[in-house]
């Protein structure tokens, strides 16, 4: 009999029973020489993804390489004739492909242990699962081996591994990225997903990867919302939250709710029943027949070559008739109607990416039930045609990452990215498991720029108001949006002011030839809120006119010269973010 205590394997699992997964299992194949697009090398500097290395989940075709889907018997004998459409787009954009990654066999699983090539470890603790099915793709990003990777997402495979490895998992609106050349799991709901250490990189990849493909039956011409969520937004939180006894995950999610509220959000308890019931249809109805249909000829001839429990899950699809499928589809439509009614009161949903984290040993012992639990908040998203973005949220006291997922309606991809990037930078977390600090955030190009007119004002910040810094909320709560990173003209010096809480810098303009270019961010703020922002600025700081490196001028923070006599000159570091990073490195 399976009991609650049997199922709750957390950080205090008996070390004697732990299984440590092998990091080398993240790869199924590596290319001796990275694949780049012929003829692009000479002009690569002009390409949007030039200099970035990537990997793809091994259910995607790469010309000349076998596609295994983690099933050696399935692999094409002599390699695919052509690369998947999404791979071609990324190569055309200048990215370099370095290899193909491990996965739960036939993309059937959410934990990363269902592969004859071995279980992929968690990037922070090899005794714990990586999440699946895009397990290898998440691991090679989190460990810093590539700049980004591609996964697939049918029931959460592009989000769960992100949440469990402290990276970003972008699950686009269905049909936004072509799935031509991708082995289906459930073709009508499959999405190609993107893993990266930052939202900015994931968005950059999406910009190159997206586009209508008339040769893909499920590709769509989608118009994405091009205005950010308002400064005061409303987010839905499930009314019945389940963490399966994991108090650390529960505490981390409660902190996430508070952080979202601090960003201007209002939490609304949401009836989660229709979403949960929709999720149950994925494997508990004739909808599972689509998994069987995806590999039917191979499966009928080579069923014994498929590992358990993947074999049993796919075989279950044989029992359903076409009439059963129509019944299940009608049930899903009704649940979708119920869910649609709930969106009238919210801008987006906030859920845990995964409600708990299990050891490899416990997952191997109880593979079906624990895998199901990892999909508690992911399975319904593609079925109901939503976009989603998983971003890192916290490091638990046991050293494991915790992620949250922002879910929006179809076409909300840029909106989720803008909010998700702001959220991620507020956490202060490092990039994946690399220990590297987050770089400066970037504007989301898909969102319409808000011009600086008489109704708005642009202000430059150099210190504690930067993205991810302690006072950034003073900007965001006033509806300010990031215009972009920039630097001053080489006529300034930057000082670390003594005795300020939180720590703050002072920027001083000096004579020509005696200064440096100092990194800053330019923000665009509604003029009606600018006065209340300025009143928060205490001496010796104030607002003046800054000259930028491009010769333009903008309002920004300056400091009284008299206050700098005992301050530390940090101009040689080029900016406040670099100074804070140096302090953190010194402590470590």
388 phi/psi in degrees, rounded to 5: -150, 150
Question: Which residues are part of the catalytic machinery?
Answer: 57, 133, 157
Taking each helix axis from N to C terminus, what angle separates 199-209 and 85-92, rounded to the nearest 10 degrees? 110
> Strand 505-509 to strand 96-101: parallel, antiparallel, or no bridges (unpaired)?
unpaired
**Percent above pLDDT 70 for the chain:** 94
Q: How confident is the model at residue 482 (pLDDT cuts 50, 70, 90)?
A: confident
- Contact by Cβ (8 Å): 386, 408: yes
Q: Tokens at residue 484, please? A: 């972009």
DSSP state letters, 556-570: EEEE-GGGGTTSEE-
What is the predicted pLDDT for the residue at 10?
Answer: 38
Task: Please enumerate in sequence order all residues whose Cβ is within 8 A of that of 128, keeping only pairs 6 or more positions apart, or say none.
Answer: 121, 122, 164, 357, 358, 359, 360, 400
Q: What is the mean pLDDT of the chain?
A: 92
Q: Which fold has domain 21-247+344-427?
A: Amidase signature (AS) enzymes (3.90.1300)
Question: Is it the case that residue 297 has pLDDT exceeding 80?
Answer: yes
The neighbouring-strand residues paired with 153 are: 191
* Beta carbons of 516 and 560 less than 8 angstroms apart: no
Topology (CATH level 3) of domain 456-587: Hypothetical upf0131 protein ytfp (3.10.490)
Cα(475)–Cα(501) distance, integer angstroms? 18
- Beta-strand pair 481-487/519-526: antiparallel
Span 413-439, average pLDDT? 95
In this prediction, residues 434-445 reach a mean pLDDT of 92
What is the C-alpha separation between 258 and 62, in angstroms, rounded?
Answer: 44
**pLDDT tens profile 93-106:** 999 999 999 999 99
Residue range 12-67, pLDDT digits in tens: 334 335 678 788 999 999 999 999 997 775 455 689 999 999 999 999 999 999 99
Q: In 19-62, which ranges are E strands?
A: 27-35, 53-57
**In angstroms, rounded to a whole number, what is the distance separating the alpha carbons of residues 202 and 417?**
9
Residue ranges per structural domain of the chain: 21-247+344-427, 456-587
Higher pLDDT, 78 or 576: 576
Confidence (pLDDT) at 262 = 87
Q: What is the pLDDT of residue 39?
A: 74
């Amino acid at each position: 009999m399976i009991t609650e205590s049997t199922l709750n394997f957390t950080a205090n699992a008996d070390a004697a029973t732990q299984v440590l997964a092998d990091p080398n299992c993240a790869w199924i194949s590596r290319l001796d020489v990275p694949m780049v697009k012929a003829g692009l090398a000479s002009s690569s500097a002009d390409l949007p993804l030039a200099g970035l290395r990537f990997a793809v989940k091994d259910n995607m075709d790469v010309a000349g390489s076998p596609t295994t889907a983690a099933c050696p018997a399935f692999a094409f004998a002599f390699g695919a004739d052509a690369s998947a459409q999404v791979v071609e787009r990324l190569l055309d954009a200048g990215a370099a492909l370095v290899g193909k990654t491990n996965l739960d066999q036939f993309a059937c699983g959410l934990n990363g242990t269902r592969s004859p090539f071995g279980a992929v470890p968690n990037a922070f603790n090899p005794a714990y699962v990586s999440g699946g099915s895009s397990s290898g793709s998440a691991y090679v990003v989190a460990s810093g081996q590539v700049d980004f990777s591609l996964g697939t997402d049918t029931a959460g495979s592009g989000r769960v591994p992100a949440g469990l490895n402290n990276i970003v998992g972008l699950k686009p609106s269905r049909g936004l990225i072509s799935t031509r050349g991708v082995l289906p799991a459930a073709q009508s709901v499959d999405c190609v997903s993107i893993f990266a250490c930052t939202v900015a990189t994931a968005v950059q990849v999406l910009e190159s990867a997206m586009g209508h493909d008339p040769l893909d039956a499920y590709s769509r011409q989608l118009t994405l919302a091009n205005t950010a969520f308002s400064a005061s937004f409303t987010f839905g939180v499930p009314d019945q939250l389940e963490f399966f006894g994991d108090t650390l995950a529960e505490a981390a999610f409660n902190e996430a709710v508070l952080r979202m509220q601090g960003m201007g959000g209002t939490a609304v308890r949401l009836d989660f029943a229709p979403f949960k019931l929709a999720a149950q249809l994925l494997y508990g109805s004739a909808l599972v027949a689509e998994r069987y249909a995806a590999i039917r000829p191979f499966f009928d001839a080579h069923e014994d070559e498929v590992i358990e429990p993947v074999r049993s899950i796919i075989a279950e699809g044989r029992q359903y008739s076409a009439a059963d499928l129509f019944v299940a589809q009608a049930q899903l439509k009704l649940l979708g109607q119920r869910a649609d009614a709930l969106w009238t009161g919210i801008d987006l949903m906030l859920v845990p990416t995964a409600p708990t984290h299990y050891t490899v040993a416990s997952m191997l012992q109880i593979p079906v039930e624990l895998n199901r639990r990892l999909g508690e908040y992911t399975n319904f998203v593609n079925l109901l045609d939503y976009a989603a973005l998983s971003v890192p949220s916290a490091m638990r006291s046991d050293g494991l990452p915790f992620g949250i997922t922002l879910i929006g309606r179809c076409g909300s991809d840029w909106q989720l990215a803008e909010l998700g990037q702001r959220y991620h930078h507020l956490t202060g977390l490092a990039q994946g498991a690399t220990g590297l600090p987050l770089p400066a955030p970037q504007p989301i190009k898909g969102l319409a720029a808000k011009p600086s007119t008489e109704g708005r004002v642009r202000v430059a910040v150099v210190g504690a108001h930067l993205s991810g810094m302690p006072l950034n909320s003073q900007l965001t709560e006033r509806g300010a949006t990031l215009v972009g990173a920039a630097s001053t003209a080489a006529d300034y010096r930057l000082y670390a002011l003594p005795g300020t809480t939180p720590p703050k810098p002072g920027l001083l303009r000096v004579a020509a030839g005696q200064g440096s270019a100092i990194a800053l961010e330019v923000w665009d703020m509604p003029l009606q809120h600018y006065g209340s922002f300025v009143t928060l600025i205490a001496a010796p700081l104030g607002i003046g006119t800054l000259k930028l490196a491009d010769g333009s001028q903008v309002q920004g923070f300056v400091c009284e010269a008299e206050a700098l006599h005992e301050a530390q000159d940090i101009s040689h570091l080029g900016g406040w973010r670099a100074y804070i990073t140096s302090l953190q490195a010194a402590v470590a």
